Structure 1
Amino acid sequence: MMDSTLTIAPDLLVQDKQAEQLGSRAKLSAHQLTDAERKKLKKISQDFEALFTGMMLKSMRATVPEDKLTGGGKAEETYRYMLDQEYAAAAAKRGGTNSIASMVEKELLKRYAVPAQKKGGGTAGEEQ
């Protein structure tokens, strides 16, 4: 007859304990984000949106046939690529509440367990 008790390997217990310790350390250090670090997260988010939008514009351009009027060529291809990158960067900087950059930034802030800022300057959990 087989014994129906559940045993957990010691290495799994060690891994679980390490994960718990890392999580508690992250929560402790999360409230210590400076304004410079928050700006860095915002910049990373905007760069991600610009990259994504640039890739999308490149894919969209690939579906449109080459313009015979301007002649095409490598110079025009390079110019269009640079123009698309500028469009993407401008769209990412303009942002908005439902932009990709703002969503990525919110997720990064959640990842670091930072309370959301209210418009009045306090955190969402504080009353003013």
Structure 2
Amino acid sequence: MQVQAFDIGQTQAQIFGAQSKAATDKLNALANNVPANEKQLRKTAEDFEAVFLGQMLKPMFETIESDGFFSGGHAEEVYRGMMVEEVGKSISKAGGVGIAESVYQELLKLQQV
């Protein structure tokens, strides 16, 4: 029985070389696919607007005194944070204030460069 010897380092280099070539080929294919998935760009723009609106609404909700059912505390702070986030998402889904459309157009322009 004869065992064939091979260089492990050379084999690893060939494997990693093939993987990096495949990754480069994927990046080139993505770059040539302009514009990319427009639906995903639209969702990204709407998500950005939702986060922006949440950040803008946050100071307004911080001025509301806590009394009644929740009576303040850490749990109410967490709840308010989540509520503000959801209000921002709701406003964005309902048409927002126009930020999403501007961001969407800029994302399209960036992909065409």
Instruction: Return the alpha-carbon distance in structure 1 between the equivalents of residues 106 and 99 of structure 2.
Output: 11
| Residue ranges of structure 1 left out of the alignment (5+ in a row) | 1-24, 115-128
Aligned to 2:111: 112
Q: What TM-score, normalized by structure 2, do the two folds share?
A: 0.60
Query: Percent identity at matched positions?
Result: 41
Aligned to 1:33: 35
Aligned to 1:19: none
Aligned to 2:24: none
Contact 1:45–1:101 (8 Å) recurs in 2 = yes
Q: What TM-score, normalized by structure 1, do the two folds share?
A: 0.54
| Residue ranges of structure 2 left out of the alignment (5+ in a row) | 1-27
1:51, distance to aligned residue in structure 2 (A): 0.9
Runs of 4+ in 1 over 3 A off after TM superposition: none
- Aligned-residue CA RMSD (Å): 2.6
Instruction: Return the alpha-carbon distance in structure 1 between the equivalents of residues 112 and 55 of structure 2.
Output: 30
Contact 1:95–1:102 (8 Å) recurs in 2 = no
1:46, distance to aligned residue in structure 2 (A): 1.0
* Aligned length, in residue pairs: 83
State how 1:54-93 maps to structure 2 within 5 Å.
54-62=54-62, 64-70=63-69, 71-93=71-93
The answer to whether structure 1 residue 100 and structure 2 residue 107 are counterparts is no
Aligned to 1:8: none
1:74, distance to aligned residue in structure 2 (A): 1.6
Instruction: Return the alpha-carbon distance in structure 2 between the equivalents of residues 52 and 90 of structure 1.
Output: 12
The structure-2 alpha-carbon separation of the partners of 1:92 and 1:65, relative to structure 1 and needing over 3 Å to count, comes to closer
3-state secondary structure, aligned to 1:103: helix
Larger Rg: 2
Instruction: Return the alpha-carbon distance in structure 1 between the equivalents of residues 42 and 99 of structure 2.
Output: 11
Instruction: Return the alpha-carbon distance in structure 2 between the equivalents of residues 54 and 40 of structure 1.
Output: 21
